[in-house]
Chain A
Amino acid sequence: MSLLTNTYDVHKGEFETAGDASASIKRKLKQLGVDSAVLRRVAVASYEAELNLIIHSLGGQLTMEMNPEHIVLISKDVGPGIADIDKAMQEGFSTASEEARVLGFGAGMGLPNMRRNADGFAIESQPGIGTTIQMEFRLK
């Protein structure tokens, strides 16, 4: 089955490029003619994932995989990892830095928003090693 894969490097603290990866994903999905409702959900989730990598991680990658049945977004970073995933998944909980909060981020809605917008959501994390989030969006 045909598969399209795009991987974007996202660096820690680089607010000036914030949104570039998700904007590129969004543009491609529009060119591919992905259904608007699905596109909107992928747009929101990929933007949140990208911002999370910039604000919270030590850097990582955002990957979009697509086949005619579904789109999978994978956010994979190299640390620092999440100590308490259940707590991190709660709305309003945030460990964002002062720098990020000044920019209007860190409302503690990132992860819950990702889960809400995706049809499938899985998160794995190990302190000191990193976090991997996988989100699935069904196209049919």
Chain B
Amino acid sequence: MDQKFFHSVRLDKEKCKGCTNCLKRCPTEAIRVRGGRAHIINERCIDCGECIRVCDYHAKYAQTDPLASINRFKYKIALPAPSLYGQFKHLISASQVLEGLLKMGFDDVFEVAEGADIVTRAIRERMRGMGRDRYPVISSACPAIVRLIRVRFPDLIPHIIDVRQPMEVAAMVARREFCRAHDAKPEEVGCFFITPCAAKVTAIRNPIGHETSAVDGAISMLEIYGLLSSHIKSSPVDAAHPAHATAYGVGWASSGGEAAAVCPEHSMSVDGIENVIRVLEEIENDKLPDLVFFEGAACTGGCVGGPLTFENTYVARGAVRALMRGCDITHPDERVRASYLTKYNLLSDKNISANSAMRLDDDIVEAMRKMEEMEDIVRRLPGYDCGSCGSPTCRTFAEDIVRGYCNEMDCIHILKEQLKVMAQKMVELAKTTRE
């Protein structure tokens, strides 16, 4: 498949009933139901996973790498997302999870929470002396939000912070340190992110902001949950592999954690993609002039609410909070060595481009003509937004007609009206012929 359009979120056609649940929830209007099955418009999909969450038939799923795929590499490193810690209720230390991962067959582990510590310091350095015109600085941690901005808020792209995600930084540091310690070649080392969501999988296969990801694969938390929890249960508490991340880095697991570490004042943390959209609209309208830092998470609760997590979001959030109490509380500004910021390329090296999938046409005159036609059609439609035509709203249905994908008779309400008129005409015709 063309990597440019790689998406982790997929449809299982066999399971899809062609209902309108996912259709209505997609924040970028990327789903249509045609021929009794859902279709995902690749150019628009941002891999937020809303459709996975809402599908009662489990027809939507996230493609991740199977655990066995780690064997492609001579050496395997696990990169556990901080949200993984929230999946286990009675942890005394994160080292129990790290130990469990080693037992599963990984040669080494590197906490993404430690990556978050490094990223925290890097963002703070980056924001120092940054012009006010870049405010509010928008977090780049949630890849679904970055993609949402590309599709729906292209004018806010310059606000996105150009520091790489914790997962990327963790992979870079983990690989280099492992190679040095074990005299290994970089290409012999595979770094695998233990992911709570589909968006991160896509961010690895089809990155934004840099050409290639330092991460080699993503394994779903759901896939390893059973195995890992049995290893954790049988592990001694004083595990051999110590956890290094600070409470700040671990805190990135939940919504608000990043802002608390990066910019505790004049920041806002919003979770749930619809809520994020509402606030981005406000930012676009300049209604939040005092805001310095904005953290948006597509999932309710933040990463602990990811579609590939096992534990209830709020239970997981509580578990992370409990774990944080036992972590080092030194701020990453003091804890993270300055040499990290110079030794590694922590900044994006590619500009984020707008995604023009919502555009009616590349030519503005033609786009205006289509808009006019669309408005005309909208006036004839009932405005029920019922989704029976297979488009999420009457407006998108009109858009689909203008784009040539369907016609007005696909609207059952218009069809019913037409049938009524035809039936009336037939009755009249029958009457006249009888006379």
Query: Closest approach, in angstroms, between the C-beta of A111 and any C-beta of chain B?
Result: 14
Binds A, one of B47-55, B254-262, B264-272, B352-360: B352-360
- A residues 88-108 near B (Cβ < 8 Å) are none
A31 touches B371 (CB 8 A): yes
Which B residues touch A40, using CB under 8 A? 155, 284
Shortest CB-to-CB span from B22 to chain A, Å, is 22
5 shortest A-B CB distances, which residue pairs? A36-B155, A47-B285, A40-B155, A33-B359, A32-B367
One digit per residue, 1 when the CB lies within 8 angstroms of any chain B CB and 0 when it does not, for chain A 30-47 equals 111110110110011001
Nearest chain B CB to A56 CB, angstrom units: 18
B354-375: contact bitstring with A at CB < 8 Å (1 yes, 0 no)?
1010111110110111011001
Complex CA gap A34/B285 in Å reads 16
Q: Bound state CA distance, A126 and B281, in angstroms?
A: 34
10 A-B residue pairs with Cβ-Cβ distance under 8 Å, sorted by A, are A4-B371, A26-B284, A30-B154, A31-B360, A32-B367, A33-B356, A47-B287, A67-B368, A68-B364, A68-B365
Which chain A residues border B284 with CB–CB below 8 Å? 26, 40, 43-44
Q: CB distance B286 to A44 under 8 Å?
A: yes
Q: Is A23 in contact with chain B by the CB < 8 A criterion?
A: yes
Q: Which residues of B contact A36 (CB under 8 A)?
A: 154-155, 157, 354
On whether A32 and B155 interact (CB within 8 A), knowing A2-B368, A4-B371, the answer reads no
CB distance B354 to A23 under 8 Å? no
B317 at the interface (CB under 8 A from A): no
Contact of B285 among A2, A43, A67, A68 (CB under 8 A): A43
B200: Cβ under 8 A from any A Cβ? no
A105 CB, min distance to chain B CBs, angstroms: 10
Is the Cβ of A4 less than 8 Å from the Cβ of B155? no
What's the Cα separation between A70 and B263 when bound, in Å?
39
Inside 8 A of A30's CB, which chain B residues have their CB? 152, 154, 358-359
Query: Which positions 281-301 of chain B face chain A at CB distance < 8 Å?
Result: 281, 284-287
Question: Which residues from chain A contact B152 at a C-beta distance below 8 Å?
Answer: 30
Q: Indicate the member of B358, B362, B368, B399 with the most A CB atoms within 10 Å.
A: B368
Interface size for B (C-beta < 8 A) is 25
Question: How long is the Cα–Cα vector from A21 to B362 in the complex, in angstroms?
Answer: 25
Which of B285, B287, B359, B368 has its CB near the most chain A CB atoms (within 10 A)?
B285
- A1-30 CB contacts (< 8 Å) to partner B: 2, 4, 6, 19, 22-23, 26, 28, 30
A30 to B29, CA, bound (A): 14
Return chain B residues, CB-CB under 8 Å to A47: 285-287
Q: Which of A19, A30, A39, A139 has the most CB of B within 10 A?
A: A30
Determine the distance from Cα of A47 to Cα of B287 in the docked complex, in whole angstroms: 9
Checking B155, B354, B359, B365 against A2 with a beta-carbon cut-off of 8 angstroms, the contacting residue is B365
B residues near A34, Cβ cutoff 8 Å:
364
CB distance from B145 to the nearest CB of A (A): 17
Residues of B close to A53: CB separation below 8 A: none
Are B361's CB and A33's CB within 8 A? yes
* Cα–Cα distance between A47 and B257 once the two chains are bound (Å): 32
A66 at the interface (CB under 8 A from B): yes
Q: Which residue of A lies closest to B361 (CB)?
A: A33
Given A31-B360, A33-B361, A36-B354, the answer on whether A4 and B372 have CB atoms closer than 8 Å is yes
Report B354 CB to chain A, min CB distance, Å.
7
Q: Is the CB of B371 within 8 A of A19?
A: no
The verdict on A113 contacting chain B, using a C-beta distance below 8 Å, is yes
With A28-B371, A33-B361, A66-B368 known, 5 other A-B pairs at CB within 8 A are A4-B372, A30-B359, A31-B358, A32-B359, A33-B360
Q: Is the CB of A31 within 8 A of B367?
A: yes
Residues of A within 8 A of B356 (CB): 33
Query: Across the interface, which residues of A come within 8 angstroms of B367, CB to CB?
Result: 31-33
Known: A23-B281, A36-B155, A37-B155. A4 touches B368 (CB 8 A): yes
Is A32 touching B360 in the complex (CB atoms < 8 A)?
A: yes
With both chains docked as a complex, state the minimum distance between the C-beta of A75 and any C-beta of chain B, in angstroms. 15
CA distance A68 to B367 in the complex (A): 10
* Chain B 145-202 residues near chain A, CB threshold 8 A: 152, 154-155, 157
Whether A19 touches B360, Cβ cut-off 8 Å, given contacts A4-B368, A4-B371, A31-B371, is no
Q: Which positions 58-77 of chain A face chain B at CB distance < 8 Å?
A: 66-68
Measured between beta carbons, the chain A residues less than 8 angstroms from B361 are: 33
**With a CB–CB cut-off of 8 A, which chain B residues contact A113?**
286
The distance from the CB of B79 to the nearest CB of chain A, in whole angstroms, is 34
Contacting pair B371 A32 (CB below 8 A): yes
Q: Are A44 and B368 CB-contacts (below 8 A) given A30-B154, A39-B155?
A: no
What is the bound-complex CA distance between A91 and B298, given in angstroms?
Answer: 37
**Chain B residue with Cβ nearest A69:** B364
Query: A139 contacts which chain B residues (CB < 8 A)?
Result: 364
What residues of A have a CB within 8 angstroms of the CB of B285 in the complex?
19, 22, 43-44, 47
